[in-house]
């Protein structure tokens, strides 16, 4: 393999890593959040500044109206703009423009027939603007229809103040706002006083706010992404990579590691427990192997080593029955017969609280030590996630992500997982590519329960799983199994099959879960006879009894 090929493979692995996906998702979330916040802030800031601008313009308009002395409007109209009083008022308006930051202050009299033309009585401008003012008596068309409507409302008493915002289209004096108030005396409207303010300062302030907000959000996002990347690498990816590498190394070498996983992974969480479990497994196997190599040949040593692994594996599965002697509301029994010394099948059941029994059955791809190691890692992850109170679908999803993070062996596992609420009989379950469960209702026959299948665990990243529900009525029985049961073959390669399995279940009669499994095993043995067993055969059966009247009364 060339160095270029190695670089391509490295980039692909990085792109598939949990950290990369998590950080990319965080980046998208922060980008979306930042965009929404910036848009909201932009609009809110614009609205607040515009309101402030408008109020300032109306305050200036009221001050100008005081200078104008409304009862003199006829005198101004007849002055031709040449009297001293007219000049004094014009100068006062000019001073207001400079002190209040207004662009224009002007007084107009519209043509009240259609408000299509206006005549200027006063027109004053700020010294800093480049625009020209209109001379006394200048007549021009009303700017647009919006102005005509507002002139009419002001002149005919429909409004005491109007505001026009012009920030798009053709504008003679750039973006601006115009505050307008009527000039009235003794109930009669004599003119309209207008104050125009440019929006350049508002725009500058708004853009400055937006830039500062974006810089702050970018800095915050960068810090969060860096911190999350460090956190994920430290608590998740590195420990999982070490565990999977050690499992692969041990599967190949069968020798304990020089440095214990628990010394390198001291997190105290489920991953730390998995590392400690693998250390214990390696230590126990090494102890047995060390004792036996002194007195046995190589072949015997290998056989004994596998036997030790079998005992370790069996020790991880519930094997004492009755499993819950203090419970009379249900009965449960399970068995696993591996095709080799160690198998890839497993089952488990345990209470997550006083009323919820978690049940699972699974089948790992492959055989031997690699399958056994993968089986133990899968079972520990499933149990730890189940103990956190998640739904079956969430348990399968999180376990899949943990297994897929470092799966160089390309192994996978099928799982059926359900949680029985013992007080009601309700079962919430999810299926990751496993066999259909078999259900018998009270007084009925065993039938396949064709549930919704998800993809196997460890096979593909990003998979979603779906919860479904059913209820076990008192007297119901649930039977779970791995594919080693229906695929058991005789010497002629004919398979036992689902139909024979259902017939054997119904032939067991009304009996305990333990007797159901014994009857099923006898049926399989009678079919395959002396043919070699090629696959693990695992079964689990639950008989739901429900609470008695006495238990209900003392509950």
The CATH number of 42-203 is 3.30.450.20
Query: Which one of 23-27, 128-132, 487-491 scores highest in mean pLDDT?
Result: 487-491
Q: Which residues pair with 159 in a beta bridge?
A: none
- Residue 237, both tokens: 């990816």
Compute CA distances 205 → 45, 49, 446, whole Å.
9, 9, 75
For residue range 422-476, what is the model confidence (pLDDT) as tens digits? 999 999 999 999 999 999 999 899 999 999 899 999 989 999 999 999 999 999 9
Distance between CA 73 and CA 93 in Å, rounded? 15
Element (H, E) at 347: strand 345-353
What residues have CB less than 8 Å from 99, skipping those under 6 apart? Answer: none
Class of the domain covering 320-554: alpha beta
Does residue 64 register a pLDDT over 90? no
What residues have CB less than 8 Å from 257, skipping those under 6 apart? Answer: 246, 249, 250, 279, 282
Residue 107 confidence (pLDDT): 93
User: Using an 8 Å Cβ cutoff, are 224 and 30 in contact?
Assistant: yes
Residue 23 confidence (pLDDT): 63
Neighbours of 303 (CB within 10 A): 14
What residues have CB less than 8 Å from 223, skipping those under 6 apart? Answer: none
Domain ranges of the chain: 42-203, 254-316, 320-554
Give the pLDDT mean for 88-114: 90
For 132, phi and psi rounded to 5 degrees?
Answer: -85, 150
Residue 375 confidence (pLDDT): 87
Residue 56 confidence (pLDDT): 84
Give the pLDDT mean for 193-203: 79
Residue 513 confidence (pLDDT): 96
Residue 554 confidence (pLDDT): 45
For 225, phi and psi rounded to 5 degrees?
Answer: -65, -45
DSSP string, 516-529: HHHHHHHHHHHHHT
Residue 481 confidence (pLDDT): 96
The angle subtended at Cα 266 by Cα 262 and Cα 269, nearest 5°, is 105
| Torsion angle of the four alpha carbons 482, 486, 489, 492, in this order, in degrees rounded to the nearest 10 | -160
Same topology between domain 42-203 and domain 320-554: no
Residue 365 confidence (pLDDT): 85
Give me the sheet containing 176-185, strands edge to edge: 139-141, 117-125, 104-110, 188-198, 176-185, 162-166
- Residue 320, both tokens: 């004492």
User: Using an 8 Å Cβ cutoff, are 454 and 433 in contact?
Assistant: yes
**Residue among 163, 151, 225 nearest 191 (CA):** 151
Give the pLDDT mean for 59-64: 88
Answer yes or no: pTM beyond 0.95. Answer: no
Distance between CA 4 and CA 61 in Å, rounded? 74
**Which position has the higher pLDDT, 5 or 96?**
96
Distance between CA 397 and CA 415 in Å, rounded? 11
* Long-range contacts, stretch 312-318, CB < 8 angstroms, 24+ apart: 312/281, 312/284, 312/285, 313/338, 313/342, 313/343, 313/346, 313/372, 313/375, 313/376, 316/346, 316/376, 316/379, 317/346, 317/347, 317/348, 318/347, 318/348, 318/349, 318/350
Give the pLDDT mean for 161-165: 88
- Residue 244, both tokens: 């999977």
């Amino acid at each position: 393999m060339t160095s270029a090929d190695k670089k391509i493979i490295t980039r692909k692995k990085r792109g598939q890593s949990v950290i990369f996906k998590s950080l990319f998702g965080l980046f998208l979330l922060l980008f979306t959040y930042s965009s929404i916040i910036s848009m909201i802030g932009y609009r809110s800031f614009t609205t607040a500044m515009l309101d402030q601008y408008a109020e300032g313009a109306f305050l200036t308009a009221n001050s100008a109206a005081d200078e104008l002395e409304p009862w003199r409007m006829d005198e101004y109209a007849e002055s031709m703009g040449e009297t001293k009083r007219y000049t004094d008022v014009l100068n006062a308006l000019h001073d207001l423009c400079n002190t209040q930051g207004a662009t224009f202050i002007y007084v107009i009299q519209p043509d009240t027939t259609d408000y299509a033309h206006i005549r200027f009585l006063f027109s004053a401008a700020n010294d800093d603007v480049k625009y020209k003012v209109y001379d006394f008596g200048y007549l021009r068309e009303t700017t647009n229809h919006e102005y005509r409507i507002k002139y009419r409302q002001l002149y005919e008493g429909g409004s005491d103040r109007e505001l026009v915002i012009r920030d798009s289209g053709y504008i003679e004096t750039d973006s601006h706002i115009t505050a307008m108030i009527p000039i009235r005396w003794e109930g009669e409207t004599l003119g309209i006083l207008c104050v125009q303010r440019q929006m350049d300062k508002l725009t500058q302030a708004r853009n400055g706010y937006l830039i500062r907000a974006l810089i702050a959000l970018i800095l915050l996002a960068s810090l969060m992404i860096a911190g999350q990347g460090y956190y994920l690498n430290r608590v998740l990816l590195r420990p999982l990579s070490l565990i999977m590498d050690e499992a692969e190394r041990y599967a190949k070498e069968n020798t304990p590691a020089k440095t214990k996983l628990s010394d390198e992974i001291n997190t105290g969480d489920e991953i730390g427990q998995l590392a400690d479990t693998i250390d214990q497994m390696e230590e126990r196997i090494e102890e047995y192997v060390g004792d036996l190599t002194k007195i046995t040949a190589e072949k015997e040593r290998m056989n004994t080593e596998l036997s030790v692994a079998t005992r370790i594996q069996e020790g991880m599965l519930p094997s004492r029955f009755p499993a819950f002697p203090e419970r009379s509301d249900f009965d449960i029994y399970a068995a696993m017969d591996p095709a080799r010394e160690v198998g890839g099948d497993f089952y488990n059941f345990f209470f997550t609280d006083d009323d919820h029994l978690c049940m699972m059955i699974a089948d790992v791809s492959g055989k031997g030590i690699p399958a056994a190691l993968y089986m133990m890692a899968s079972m520990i992850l499933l149990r730890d996630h189940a103990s956190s109170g998640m739904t079956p679908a969430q348990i399968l999803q999180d376990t899949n992500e943990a297994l897929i993070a470092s799966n160089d062996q390309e192994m996978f596992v099928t799982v059926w997982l359900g949680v029985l609420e013992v007080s009601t009989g309700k079962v919430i379950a999810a299926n990751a590519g496993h066999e259909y469960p078999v259900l018998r209702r009270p007084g009925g026959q065993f039938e396949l329960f064709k549930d919704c299948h998800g993809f196997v665990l460890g096979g593909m990243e990003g998979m979603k799983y779906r919860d479904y529900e059913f209820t076990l009525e008192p007297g119901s029985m649930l039977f779970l199994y791995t594919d080693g049961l229906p695929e058991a073959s005789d010497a002629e390669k004919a398979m036992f099959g689902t139909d024979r399995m259902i017939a054997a279940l119904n032939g067991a009669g009304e009996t305990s879960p333990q007797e159901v499994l014994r009857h099923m095993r006898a049926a399989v043995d009678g079919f395959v006879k002396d043919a070699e067993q090629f696959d693990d055969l695992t079964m689990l059966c639950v008989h739901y009894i429900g609470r008695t009247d006495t238990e209900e009364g003392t509950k």
